[in-house]
Structure 1
Amino acid sequence: MAAFAIIKSFVQFVTVSFSLVINSILIYLVITKSSKKLGNYRHLMCYFSLFSMVYAVLDWIVQPFIHSHGASFSMIMDLRESALNKKVAFFFVASLAGCFGVSIYAIAINFIFRYFALQREGRLRYFAGKRLILWFCIPLFGGLSWVFLCWCSMAPDPEFTNYLRDSIRANYDLDADFITYTGSYFYRFERDGSVKWSIENSLGALGLNVLMIIPFFIILIFGYRSYKKISKLMAQGECDYTKRLQMQLYKALVAQTIIPMVLLSFPIGILFSAPLLHLDIENGSIIVTFFYSLYPAIDPIPIILFIDDFRNAFFGVFQRRPSKNQVASVVSVDATVDVS
């Protein structure tokens, strides 16, 4: 498994480096190239990009192994070459888990904003002024709730550690005496064949599931409503402006739905739920470990591609500048302006 550790470390180094670069580029584009018509969406984009950078750095520090085994699910940090003590390391692991909570709530807020922008009924005023700070606090509250549950009910315990010992050695060449982790050891089989449930772990897992379900349904509801709005615009659209607007909104909606669902919600949800259903999908843990690291690097790409001002500025760097006798014409379409 030494080869796996080297590959994993290399991939995570590449993803954190790319995430820092691409999110920095997006913040620069937002500050220097965005139209004033984007309004407070500029602040939301910078907020999400800064968070993605924090997520990427934490992922590099922890370099987690996301592991589903038998009756358990865990996020593990190898401490053999770490200068951190177990308590500090556990805080970083819990914070990285909390990043997942911040991500899905931030995505949900993005869908709410997008729907309000499509409505064109002046509801973007709810994202103006001091109200915007409240929207910023919601993902942080979701993330802190994850950290709290990890700290209170999903911390390491000797029985859980011993249960993981053989599995993590066989799969990742980890020593259970030199790890920290957050996770759930849902149930244990007694010698008489009965099942003993871990109430504390199960309640913590239930709390995390509730925290996941809330933004998931927000994404579904506002994503569907946004799709219906776009469908009506497509049916009624007559001018080029409307057609371009339709396509930008449609592509952004699809991308911002697929990326987090494929890389975060579905795989994490499946691995987390499998022990409760007595399903053994331990082999899938390796793939999800890489997925978890990829998200902050991929997240800003759709914004750069689907907003005309950003896309033109980004790709313009790599294009030959027109001569003085040539005229470059750029058409910018604002996909977020709220026209009342």
Structure 2
Amino acid sequence: MISFENWKSMLIYSQWIGGTLGVIFNLFLILLIIYRSPQHLGVYKYLMMYISIVQTVFSILDVISKSITFSYGSVFMGFRYFKHSNIGRAQGFHLLSVHGGTFGAIISLFGVHFVYRYGVVDLAFRKRFLSGWKLVLIFLTPILAFIWWTSVVLLCFGPSSESDSLMRISLLQGCDTRIEDISYFIVQYHSLSEFNQLSPVWSTFFGMACIWIITSSSIFCVVYFGIKCYVKITKALKNSKMSSFYTKSIQHQLFVALVFQTLIPLILMYGPAGILFSCPMLNIEVGVWSSFVSATIVIYPAVDPLPTMFIVESYRKTILCK
């Protein structure tokens, strides 16, 4: 059985490696987008750059925060050690809040990506919903999701003396960690009444409802517009003429990349985060193994750029020096 100290070391190494590779790969992809993009990409390349920039910021914040998740009963928390850090306890909580907000921006970007990709292949949809100020609005959506998610953490999931007392023993037993040595946010679904009965913490349910709205709307856009995009591109490829073969080929390459970029967040972000959010609400004990979510999430920004880099032909040829 691996000790928590060894597991914590593995998490820190994974955060450094995943964060560093996330920054390198995303910056390299930005250079490819600027200098090696196919001519028919148009505004779509700016959305791709937007995604890479947000993922770069997320990787940097993940390395700085070194956050670890922990679940106990109907509670889960994200924390970072501040004892040997220049960032104090209060500042650490704000750092974790901003880090969570960046996660929310990435979740929102999944949905935006698929909405825009469908607009690329459906001219009528693009003219109706993705032109003029509406295009600006869709680019602002991840920023609004960032502000909303960060505000929820700050207002609904802040630490207190009561939460210190609640988590002190379980944190010491599960993570060999003193509550006084960490900054943290805490999501407590239920509290014990004076009659030892569980009663809901409504501020937590309100905060999680906001987070589920962001997450579920993103999943809906991914599934709904992903299916419509697949049907549209399939029909276009069947009916394509030689004069438009290059454009259809680019669309096909981007869609294949998008399929992989759907599976990657489903496995590394949507799935683990959904388990972390849901199990405490159902009072299912996960314990220290909930920190596995920290490992999967930090890997995501390093893996996500790879499908685009190797599936889009002009990018692949540049990487392979062809």
Give the structure-2-normalised TM-score: 0.90
SS at match of 2:185: strand
Aligned to 2:268: 263
Provide the C-alpha distance between the structure 1 equivalents of 2:183 and 2:44, rounded to a whole number of angstroms: 39
Which position in structure 2 is the counterpart of 1:69? 72
CA distance change for structure 1 residues 164 and 32 in 2, over 3 Å: closer, same or farther? same
Q: Which residue of 2 aligns with 1:328?
A: none
Give the helix-richer structure, 1 or 2.
2
Stretches of 4+ moved more than 3 A in 1? 124-133, 230-247
Distance 1:306 1:124 in 2: 28
- Find the counterpart in structure 2 of residue 166 from structure 1: 169
Report SS of the residue matched to 1:68: strand
Query: Residue 33 of structure 2 corresponds to which residue in structure 1?
Result: 30
For residue 86 of structure 2, give the secondary structure of its aligned residue in structure 1: coil
- 1:204 pairs with 2:222: no
Once the two structures are overlaid, the 10-residue window that deviates more, 163-172 or 45-54, is 163-172
Q: CA deviation at 1:253?
A: 3.1
Structure 2 CA distance for partners of 1:42 and 1:244, relative to 1, 3 Å? closer
- Taking structure 1 as the reference length, the TM-score comes to 0.85
Contact 1:234 1:246 in 2 (8 A): no
- What is the CA-CA distance between 1:120 and the residue it aligns to? 4.2
SS in 2 for 1:140: helix
Report the Cα offset of residue 88 of structure 1: 1.5
Q: Is the 8 A contact 1:187 1:196 kept in 2?
A: yes
Partner of 2:281: 276
Q: Secondary structure at the match of 1:88?
A: helix
DSSP-derived class of the 2:285 partner: coil
Which residue number corresponds to residue 6 of structure 2? Answer: 3
* CA deviation after TM superposition for structure 1 residue 220, in Å: 1.6
Residue number in structure 2 paired with 1:194 = 197
Deviations 1:136-169 (A, max 9, x none): 2110100110111111111012222222223333
* Residue aligned with 1:81, SS: coil
Instruction: Please state how far the C-alpha of 1:303 moved relative to its aligned partner.
Output: 1.3
1:225 counterpart (222, 225, 228): 228
Larger Rg: 1
Q: State the alpha-carbon separation in 1 of the partners of residues 306 and 225 from structure 2.
A: 22
Distance 1:298 1:186 in 2: 33
- In 2, distance between residues paired with 1:206 and 1:126? 27
* 1:111 equivalenced with 2:114 (yes/no): yes
Identical residues among aligned pairs (%): 26
Does the Cα contact within 8 Å between 1:118 and 1:226 map onto a contact in 2? Answer: yes
After the TM superposition, which of the residue ranges 101-110 and 188-197 deviates more from structure 2? 188-197
Q: What residue is the counterpart of 1:296 in the other structure? A: 301
Given the alignment of the two structures, is residue 79 of structure 1 paired with residue 82 of structure 2, yes or no? yes
Bigger Cα displacement from structure 2, 146-155 vs 118-127: 118-127
Matches within 5 A, 1:170-189: 170-189=173-192
Quote how far apart the aligned CAs of 1:190 are: 3.3
How far residue 172 of structure 1 moved from its aligned partner, in angstroms, is 2.8
- Residue 270 of structure 2 aligns with an amino acid whose one-letter code is S
Q: What corresponds to 1:60 in structure 2? A: 63
Contact (CA 8 Å) 1:70, 1:279: kept in 2 or not? yes
Unaligned runs of 5+ in 2: none
CA contact (8 A) 2:254 2:308 kept: no
Cα distance in 1, alignment partners of residues 96 and 181 from structure 2: 14
Q: Paired residue for 1:338?
A: none
For 1:174, what is the secondary structure of its paired residue? coil
What is the CA–CA distance in structure 1 between the aligned matches of 2:288 and 2:86, rounded to whole Å? 30
The 3-state SS of whatever aligns with 2:49 is helix
- Give the structure 1 partner of residue 319 of structure 2: 314
